[in-house]
């Protein structure tokens, strides 16, 4: 079975329920705004929101859970679907595909943070206690304007409303907080996260539970809701059931926000403590507990999504077009504050303020697991592909840039939850689709030739088709989400390939691997020769005997001087570091070094020459002239690992060996 290099292992592992709390900061926090988003998306058909919620529950349990259970089994080291796809899709296409996927992962990370802080601000500015304290500032707004410099008193001052100011303050505070998380995760933080998640879920359970009890005692509300459902306009004259299915599909992108925790479960899987006897390459104990964590999170979320959608739809006053008025993006908080006083005598300003505090805390910490995963994931792949400059990795440029983008996105969208929800939905759906594609391709490869091939593949094919269709329609219809993702993708790919070009003259050599012990021993023997002439040979162009005769005649090499032929076969030129596989043969009195799995012929030849020069007199490398144009040769070298070989060998040797006396000599003729 193929293995994938893992991400850097975490310093510590933790109980699975603590890691579940870390995932829950992002996953469960969507309950704060999800019911409002779905009701608003349905517009005049808002009565169908609970049924749409049941649809997403079905998709979660029937589609998402099986896909991610397979993904974590095949990629348990934190890379998730990205790591699995990297093994399945090779070459430059595969590298570019991974970079595109990283762009959507970055979008998901950014919008998770900006949307969470925007909704935290919504809960704060609508809290009665906060409003009373903030009234002083609002009353003196003009005094504040006059105290500012003249050039800031016009449009700049009017741009900042309460929502935006509070959001930016929370964001700036979070930058300092997340810096500590990036330095290192501690068990104390996870325990605090678990406490916040449990408190938040408990308060939501009280609100939803009281709402359900009230509804059970007032059957007329159910009857009114059912009448609205029956009266909902039919799509194209179709039946009620078909209409409900189509409406559920139409609102699925908004409800997909409730599936955001799956990718985070994959990213945090390495933090889960497995069994002491786990195989590091395939930690079955960790995989089993990560699956349990994912399943429990999904079941809890499904219960809360369905319950919250019924309670909000039946108990919160909803106007034309799904307008929730003061309950917009805080429907459960509105109930907790006693917005519908008949639901429970417990609800009111005190309980509502406690609910708001728990909501603000979980939204403030939402993005913690995304921060940790992004901190490792993006630099890991960029470094692996040779697409990150060393100084940038040391300074942590990527995370600083993400913080800047988070601030810019907040300002561009003016901290509006509604303006960002489509971008968030698009990124979540793309990640779900990537996971489904990865699972489908992996099952297709592993079950090929089996009698159970079609039976094993069909469910994943259907799931992949569903996610592909929904993701495509969402990204096409949502310009903001696509624009943000494309911005990340273009920036990431542009800077990545520029970095790769700058680093193309690094030696990129990680040692040779030998086919057998005989080759290794023969390699050590020929390295000890007093003087060697290394001649690259391309099989098929001419025989070794013809090449030997041609080189000796053209360069006046005596018969007693050994010529060692080198045949290099390019493997995947899109890889950066290489560990070529070598075999040393002795054919008709001639030594032939055959090397495969090369990412670049020039780098392998330079590495061989430098290895020879370490133990004896530096060798000569003899090349013939090429008819290839310089531009084509350079592109061939960068993309295919073959062109411009003599010049690149000379440059690589010059950079790697500062002592001219010890440098292998490159001869072109």
CATH of the domain at 432: 1.20.1740.10
Q: What is the per-residue pLDDT for 316? A: 92
> Are 484 and 547 part of one and the same domain?
no
Q: How far apart are CA 590 and CA 577, in angstroms?
A: 30
CA distances from 40 to 45, 46, 247, 410, 465 (A): 9, 7, 13, 21, 27
Identify the helix (H) or strand (E) that includes residue 384: helix 368-384
Q: Is residue 507 part of a domain?
A: no
Q: What is the per-residue pLDDT for 347? A: 93
Q: Is residue 95 part of a domain?
A: yes
Residue 528: CATH number of its domain: 3.40.50
Last residue of a domain, one of 461, 480, 502: 502
Q: How far apart are CA 448 and CA 454, in angstroms?
A: 9
Copy the structure tokens of residue 602: 């020039």
Give the angle subtended at the CA of 256 by the CAs of 165 and 355, to the nearest 5°: 50
| Bridge partners for 563 per DSSP | 533
Q: What is the per-residue pLDDT for 437? A: 94
Q: Is residue 574 part of a domain?
A: yes
| pLDDT tens sequence across 36-72 | 888 888 887 788 888 888 888 888 899 999 999 999 9
Q: What is the per-residue pLDDT for 214? A: 93
Last residue of a domain, one of 502, 533, 565: 502
Q: Is residue 508 part of a domain?
A: no
> Are 193 and 174 part of one and the same domain?
yes
Q: Is residue 5 part of a domain?
A: no
Q: Is residue 405 part of a domain?
A: yes
> Are 310 and 419 part of one and the same domain?
yes
Q: What is the per-residue pLDDT for 632? A: 66
> Are 473 and 525 part of one and the same domain?
no
> Are 425 and 276 part of one and the same domain?
yes
> Cα-flanking dihedrals φ and ψ of residue 518, to 5°?
-60, -45
Spatial CA neighbour of 423 closest among 442, 436, 410, 435: 410
Q: What is the per-residue pLDDT for 5? A: 45
Last residue of a domain, one of 453, 470, 502: 502
The whole domain housing 114 covers 16-502
Q: Is residue 6 part of a domain?
A: no
Q: What is the per-residue pLDDT for 588? A: 80
> Are 538 and 455 part of one and the same domain?
no
> Are 493 and 635 part of one and the same domain?
no
> Are 442 and 370 part of one and the same domain?
yes
Q: What is the per-residue pLDDT for 3? A: 43
Q: Is residue 449 part of a domain?
A: yes
> Are 544 and 453 part of one and the same domain?
no
> Are 484 and 610 part of one and the same domain?
no
> Are 522 and 397 part of one and the same domain?
no
CA distances from 266 to 24, 384, 440 (A): 13, 20, 17
How many domains in the chain?
A: 2
pTM summary value: 0.80
Name residues of the chain where pLDDT drops below 70: 1-11, 134-148, 150-160, 178-185, 232-250, 367-376, 388-400, 415, 478-481, 626-634, 636-639, 641, 643
> Are 497 and 517 part of one and the same domain?
no
């Amino acid at each position: 079975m193929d293995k994938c290099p893992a991400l850097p292992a975490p310093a510590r592992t933790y109980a699975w329920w603590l890691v579940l709390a870390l995932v829950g900061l992002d996953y469960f926090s969507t309950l704060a705004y999800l019911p409002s988003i779905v009701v608003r998306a349905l517009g005049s058909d808002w009565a169908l929101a609970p049924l749409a919620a049941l649809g997403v529950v079905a998709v979660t349990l029937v589609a998402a859970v099986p896909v991610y259970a397979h993904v974590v089994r095949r990629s348990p080291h934190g890379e998730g679907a990205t790591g699995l796809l990297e093994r399945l899709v090779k070459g430059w296409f595969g590298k570019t595909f991974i970079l595109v996927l990283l762009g959507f992962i970055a979008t998901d990370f950014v919008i998770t943070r900006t949307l969470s802080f925007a909704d935290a601000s919504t809960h704060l500015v609508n809290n009665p206690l906060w409003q009373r304290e903030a009234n002083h500032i609002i009353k003196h707004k003009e005094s504040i304007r006059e105290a500012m410099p003249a050039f800031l008193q016009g449009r700049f001052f009017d741009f900042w409303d309460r929502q935006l100011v509070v959001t930016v303050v929370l964001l700036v505070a979070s930058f300092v907080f997340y810096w500590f998380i990036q330095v290192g995760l501690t068990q104390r933080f996870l325990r605090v996260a678990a406490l916040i998640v449990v408190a938040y879920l408990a308060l939501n359970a009280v609100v939803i539970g009281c709402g359900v009890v009230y509804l059970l005692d007032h059957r007329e509300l159910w009857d009114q809701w059912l009448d609205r459902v029956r009266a909902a306009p039919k799509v194209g004259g179709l039946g009620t059931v078909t209409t409900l299915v189509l409406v559920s599909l139409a609102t699925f992108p908004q409800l997909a926000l409730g599936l955001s925790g799956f990718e985070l479960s994959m990213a945090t899987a390495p933090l889960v403590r497995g069994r002491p006897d786990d195989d590091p390459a395939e930690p079955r104990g960790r995989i089993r507990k990560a699956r349990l964590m994912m399943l429990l999170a999904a079941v809890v979320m499904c219960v809360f999504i369905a319950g919250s959608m019924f309670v909000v739809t039946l108990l919160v006053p909803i106007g034309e077009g799904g307008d929730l008025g003061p309950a917009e993006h805080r429907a459960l908080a509105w109930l907790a504050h006693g917005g519908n006083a008949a639901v429970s005598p417990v609800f009111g300003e005190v309980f509502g303020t406690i609910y708001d505090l728990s909501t603000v805390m979980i939204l403030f910490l939402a993005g913690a697991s995304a921060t940790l995963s992004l901190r490792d994931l993006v630099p890991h792949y960029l470094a692996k592909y040779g697409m990150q400059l060393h100084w940038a990795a040391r300074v942590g440029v990527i995370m600083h840039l993400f913080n800047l983008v988070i601030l810019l996105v907040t300002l561009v969208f003016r901290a509006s939850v509604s303006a960002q929800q489509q971008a968030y939905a698009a990124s979540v759906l793309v990640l779900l689709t990537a996971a489904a594609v990865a699972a489908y391709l992996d099952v297709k490869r592993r079950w090929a030739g089996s009698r159970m091939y079609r039976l094993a593949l069909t469910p994943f094919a259907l799931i992949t088709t569903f996610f592909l269709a929904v993701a495509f329609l969402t990204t096409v219809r949502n310009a903001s989400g696509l624009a943000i993702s494309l911005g990340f993708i273009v920036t990431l790919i542009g800077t990545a390939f520029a970095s790769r070009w700058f680093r193309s003259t690094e030696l990129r050599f990680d040692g040779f691997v030998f086919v057998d012990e005989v080759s290794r021993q023969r390699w050590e023997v020929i390295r000890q020769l007093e003087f060697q002439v290394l001649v690259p040979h391309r099989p098929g162009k001419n025989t070794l005997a013809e090449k030997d005769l041609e080189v000796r005649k053209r360069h006046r090499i005596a018969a007693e001087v050994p010529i060692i032929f080198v045949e290099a076969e390019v493997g995947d030129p899109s890889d950066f570091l290489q560990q070529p596989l070598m075999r040393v043969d002795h054919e008709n009195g001639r030594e032939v070094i055959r090397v495969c799995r090369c990412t670049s012929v020039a780098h392998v030849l330079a590495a061989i020459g430098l290895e020879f020069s370490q133990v004896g007199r530096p060798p000569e490398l003899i090349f013939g002239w090429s008819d290839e144009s310089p531009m084509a040769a350079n592109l061939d070298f960068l993309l295919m690992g073959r062109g411009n070989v003599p010049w690149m060998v000379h440059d690589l040797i010059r950079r790697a060996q500062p002592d001219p006396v010890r440098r292998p000599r490159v001869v072109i003729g």
